[in-house]
Every structure is written in C-alpha cells, then in structure tokens.
Amino acid sequence: MEYEQIKRELETSATLKLLRSRNAALVLSFLHKQFKVIQQVSVAQLELEEKLGDYVEFLQDIYPDLCPRSPKEYLSEWCDDQLLRKTFDNSDDPVFTLTPAAEKAITWLEDLQQRDEFVGTESRFLQIFSLLKEIQDRSTTDVETRIAQLEQDRDRIQLEIDHIRQTGVVERYSQTRLQERFLLANQVTRQLIADFRDVEQNFRKLTRTVQEAQLQQDTRKGAVVSRVLDADQELKDSDQGRSFYTFWNFLMSTSKRQELKSLIQNVYQLDELQPLTHEYEFLRRIERSLLNAGEYIVQSNHRLTEKLRQMLDERNLRENRRVAELITDVQRLARKVANDMPTEPDFWVLEGEPAVNLVMERPLHPLVESETPTFSLDFTNLPEVMLDEEIAELYQQFYVDEDLLVQRIAHALEHCSTISLTDLIQLYPVTQGLPEMVAYLAIATLSNRHFINTSTIDSITIPSLEPETQLRLTVPQIIFRR
C-alpha cells in the first residue's frame, strides 16, 4: 500500500471509476438485478437491450433529470469501461458477462448495504484456527507424525462419544453461535460466486501467455505443435486450474451434490435460524449458482483452447500461401526466359544412363488349367440333428436400443448440467452387459457435446450376460453434458 501504488490504482481501476461515475446507480442497480437477483452468468444482447430500455424508461418517469440514451450505446460504453465482456458463445448472437471490476463493485455495495446482526468473531477465529491446523497437518510427509495427528483426532472423538454415552447429553450450539456461522456461510458464498469472474480472467491470462509463447518468431513449428496440443493440459496443471478443477470434480459428484442439498435443507429448517432464513436466501441457491458459474468457465476454457489449436491451422495456411506465392514467382520467371534459349550447350546434365521401365514389358502370368473337381452327395443314412439349442440361441438374440440410452441420458441431465457414466449407471443399472457399455461409449464418442477424459480412469463393475457373473471394467472417465 505505497503512495504511488494507491495513486495509480485510484486513476486506473475500473471499479473505482464506476463508483465515481455519474451513472453509477443506474449501472450497478441494473447489472445487480440482471446478473445477481436473477442468477444468470451470461445474458444475450437482445434480451439485455430490451430490459435496459424498459429500466431506463421506468427511471425516467421517477427521475426526469436522467439523461436517457439508447440501450446499445449504454452497453457499448460499459464494455469500453471494462464493466461487461461481450463474447460469442458458439453462436452468431453476442452475450454479455460481468467483468471482475463490476463484480467487485457490486460485492462492495452488497457488503455495504448488508444488515449485520453482529460481528461473528468466534466463528471467524475458529475458521482461521482450522485453516492453520489443516495446513500444518497436511504439509507433513513424515508417516509417524501424520499417524500421531490422526490418533489425537481419534482420541478426541472417542472422548466425546464416551461422554455422550455416559451422560446421555449432546452439547448443542446456542442460537447465537448457529446464527453466527450461518451468516458467515452466506458471506463466503457471495464472495465465492463473485470470485468466479476473477477465475475466468486468470484463465484468460494463462491462455494469452501460451499464445505469446507461440507467436514468437524464433519458435519452431514442432514446439508450436507441442504447445498447442498441450494448451488444455497447461491450463489444468496451473495453480488456478488445479484448484478450480478439484472444486469442479467435487461439484460433479452426485453423492457430494446430494449431500450439499441435504445440508442446506437441514440448516434452513432449524428453528434457531428462522429469523434469518427469509432474508439470507443466497446460500439456499448455492448449488445452482455454482453449477452455472462453473459450467460457464469450463465451456470458456474449451473455447480458449480451441482458439489456441486454430493458431496452428492458421500458421499452416500462411505457409501454404507462401509456397503458392513462390511457385507463382518461379512460373513467372520461367515465362520471361522462355523465348531466350540458353547459350550453353549443356543446360541440364544427368549422371548415368536413364533407366526406363515400361509397364508392357512385364511378362504375363502363365495360364494353367486347373482340374475340374468332381464330387457326389449322399443323403442316405444321415444322423439326426437336434436344432433345439440353435433355435433357442437365435430366439434369445437381442440388440442394444441406443435411443433408449440417449433418453436416459437426457432425463438425467434435466436435473444437472453434466453427469458421469459412473453416476448414470447408478441411476439406470446395466442390464445388457458389455454391449450396453459399448453403446454408451459410442454415444459419447459420436456427440460433440459429451467428453471423454482419458487422463482419469474409472473402474466400473457391471453384471455380465452370464448368470451370477460380474464384469469389472476399466474405462476412461466419460462425461455427458447437456
């Protein structure tokens, strides 16, 4: 917090410029309503222009001194001021998302207007204490030290169990302590949702770093190919990527998501928290908010890595155009000297005698007559053939209905944006053995929406077509997306 640093931040920060602007109330109230109250990550341009026009018209009736402008001009100005980001999400229609600067301004005003019941010093201190203990416990690689830590936790839990069994009394938090932790959970939830814009911005910075390395003139083509093909892995291996994708894998687990729903439902049903539950609804919607924000970042990462791969194609096109230009130059020079015969007697010299191999000089394969086979069929005294087993086998033939499997996937994705094959077969157990698993793999391979993660291996146990036989399969992780 030096003088020059603060001065530069006050002059260049998009967040502070927004708070000092004349239309700050209009900008922040409208963006908060469209992106926070409605819980949307991105909004189409036509929809945002229509709602902005209605909002400005509504405000002008109350505040006549408001200088109205067209919605398109407002949105263009907000993009120039780094408050909105305009992108094209796999379509010709542009969409708008909040930038980190707008998120910080909205979050600051939310904190400013938030009615604090009290300052929860205990819960915040315990959170710090828990983080420090987790850092200490999880930073050691010594086996004996870690075992001693676990044994201490075990003894502490066992003492509590023994005390409850002896007294029959469970120590319960007071209403103050419950409310304190409930308010802290809501505050952390709002901060986490707001931080998703910074996460996306950090991914974009990583992508630009990779692009700059590829655009260097002295970079060899082989290095460019390697960097482009590994761009997606570079994003995932970064500190930002490892943290985000660990969170995303946790959120994609059906059991963890169900546990989160159950925890939220139980918390909001507590009698001690009823005075706060109607006012603090943000935590209740955390699952849907995290899914929407996380899915947008995942899709954005896929688009960024695709752009990096397109750079290789563009470089090949430039090289091909350069080769075509060189050929044209050679042809043009050849036409200029076509009428000027060379004066030297030996314009072109070939070393050695030319070898000529004509196709017609090859001998034909000699035609040899083969003997005509003679045979006779005797249908007398044939053994009796029982076809019961063969007919039963034909009758029991079946096929895997891929349309039914696609319907199952679509029905499962009605409740979530993505689902893994492991979770899907828990909802719809496998009944046709290995052919059904092959059909799921074919569906994931043929569709651009679905994703096969070869870096993660899943072990799946399914019933075989043979009675009382189980098959244990090792397959790459398959993710079905909506």
Quote the tokens at residue 153: 């936790």
Angle between helices 402-412 and 433-446 (to 10 degrees): 70
pLDDT tens track for 342-400: 676 666 777 778 788 888 887 777 777 777 766 666 666 766 666 666 666 555 556 67
Nearest to 425 by CA among 460, 454, 373, 379: 460
Count of CB atoms situated within 10 Å of the CB of 149: 15
pLDDT of residue 357: 82
Cα gap 398→389, rounded to integer Å:
16
Q: Dihedrals φ, ψ of 437, to 5°? A: -65, -40
Cα gap 463→425, rounded to integer Å:
11
| CATH (one of 3.40.50, 1.10.10, 1.10.760, 2.50.20) for 3-108 | 1.10.10
Name residue 346's amino acid. D
Residues constituting the chain: 482
Domain range list for the chain: 3-108, 174-333, 402-481
Quote the tokens at residue 79: 């993009």
pLDDT of residue 467: 72
Nearest to 228 by CA among 299, 316, 322, 323: 316
Name the stretches of the chain with pLDDT < 50. none
- Residue 249 has what DSSP assignment? H
Quote the tokens at residue 198: 């910074």
Angle between helices 286-336 and 254-268 (to 10 degrees): 140
Q: Dihedrals φ, ψ of 281, to 5°? A: -100, -5
Whether 81 contacts 73, CB under 8 Å:
no
Alpha-carbon torsion angle 36, 41, 44, 48, nearest 10: 10
Whether 58 contacts 68, CB under 8 Å:
no
Nearest to 104 by CA among 177, 224, 9: 9
Cα gap 71→50, rounded to integer Å:
8
Q: What strand order describes the sheet that includes 84-88?
A: 42-44, 94-98, 84-88
The helix/strand count (H/E) of the chain reads as 19, 6
Nearest to 210 by CA among 232, 177, 188: 232
pLDDT of residue 278: 77
